[in-house]
Amino acid sequence: MRDFPSCFGENGVQVADSSSSSSAAKAAQNSVTCVYQCRLHGRVCLISVTWTKNLMGQGLSVVINDSANHCLFKADIKPWLFSKRKGSKHLEVDRGKIDICWDLSNARFGSGPEPVEGYYLAVAFEQEMVLFLGDLKKEAIKKVDTGVDSDPGAIFIAKREHIVGKRLYGVKTRFCDKGRTHDMVIECDTVDLKDPCLVIRIDSKTVMQVKRLKWKFRGNHTILVDGLQVEVFWDVHNWLFGDAMGNAVFMFQTCLSEEKLCRNRSVFDPSGSTWSYPQKFRDHQARSPVFCLILYAWKHE
């Protein structure tokens, strides 16, 4: 198969492989990372927001990287400290002050760790809103003290999510920043079948089917969603040949032209599950960001 393209940091994103303990796998299953392309003092930056959930409660992490992938700011709100569900953090950087403010005191959550309503998370630079998430914008503006209700212009460019299932793996997703939300289901029954089949459905419509999966456990295929070409990459080796807690990896990336897509290829290492992030891809994102979704599908027998 062709190499997986990358969507995250230059140092890669590490996930538990088939040799990891079940506790590590369960921890990975309760995190969602969203990446936004923003402008910080006129310069492009990437802001990664990670939502986590475990027995101790909800957690939150915000990381801001500049265009050279240097970390400018990192804020961690640990689950055991998340009883303070409303607060702020501040950091002086070489060009000014970065503020992060949040209020999740009345947040409502779905089945995952990401809040769905009743909250806000705001990132500001020198009292100018850089990123806003949630539905309490007026409260965020007061906290940041911008005095201006304007669109910060952040672009949602990537998401990494962990999902769990036995035969069906469902997720709600969209394939571009302002696109429609779709119901996507990945179906794959590998129990006692000589010839397992992989099926992907979007809004109940079959968009991809892979037969003879034991021979095609890694591959890629192009589908059409909302008028966009979406490149689908899959690696289900652990489902077929790994242990009971193994995970499959799926990537959905909106396509550029074939020439640009090939230039943006990076290396995906199935054994270490490392996503590299070449400079060419970062440079292209600064001009015209694509969107990609990475799903880690954990089989629960």
pLDDT digits (tens, 9 = 90+) for 238-288: 998 876 667 899 999 987 544 444 444 433 333 333 333 334 334 444 444
Quote the distance between the C-alpha of residue 160 and its chain's center: 2
Q: How confident is the model at residue 144 (pLDDT cuts 50, 70, 90)?
A: confident
DSSP one-letter string for 231-279: EEEEE-HHHHHS-TT-EEEEEEEE---HHHHHHTB--EETTTTEE---H
Q: Is the pLDDT of residue 168 over 70?
A: yes
For residue 14, tell me if it sits in a domain. Answer: no
Residues 249 and 189 in one domain: yes
Last residue in a domain, options 116, 133, 155: 155
Q: What is the pLDDT of residue 27?
A: 54
Average pLDDT rounded to a whole number, residues 140-155: 79
Give the pLDDT mean for 134-153: 81
Q: What pLDDT is stored for residue 211 in this prediction?
A: 92
**Domain check: are 42 and 134 in the same one?**
yes
Give the per-residue pLDDT at 81: 66
123 and 211 belong to one structural domain: no
- Find the mean pLDDT for residues 108-122: 89
Looking at per-residue pLDDT, the higher value among 298 and 30 belongs to 298
* Residue 29 pLDDT: 63
DSSP for 162-173, please give it.
Answer: EEEESSEEEEEE
- When divided into structural domains, the chain yields a total of 2
Domain residue limits at 239:
22-28+162-299
Whether residues 150 and 166 fall in one domain: no
Q: Indicate if 168 and 295 belong to the same structural domain.
A: yes
Same domain, 99 and 171: no
If asked whether residues 118 and 212 sit together in one domain, one would say no
Percent of the chain with pLDDT over 90: 33
State residue 251's pLDDT score: 95
* Residues 237, 132 within the same domain: no
- Residues 45-62: tens digit of each pLDDT: 899 999 988 777 788 999
* 155-165 vs 292-299, strand pairing mode: parallel
Residue of 21 and 35 predicted with greater confidence: 35
Average pLDDT of 89-118?
Answer: 86
Domain boundary among 155, 185, 205: 155
What's phi and psi for 135, nearest 5 deg? -125, 15
181 & 151 share domain: no
Separation of alpha carbons 222 and 252, rounded Å: 9
Q: Which of 130, 155, 180 is the last residue of a domain?
A: 155
Q: Where are the alpha helices (DSSP H) in the chain?
A: 22-28, 137-144, 237-241, 258-263, 279-287
264 within 8 A of 5, measured Cβ to Cβ:
yes
* More confident site: 25 or 115: 115
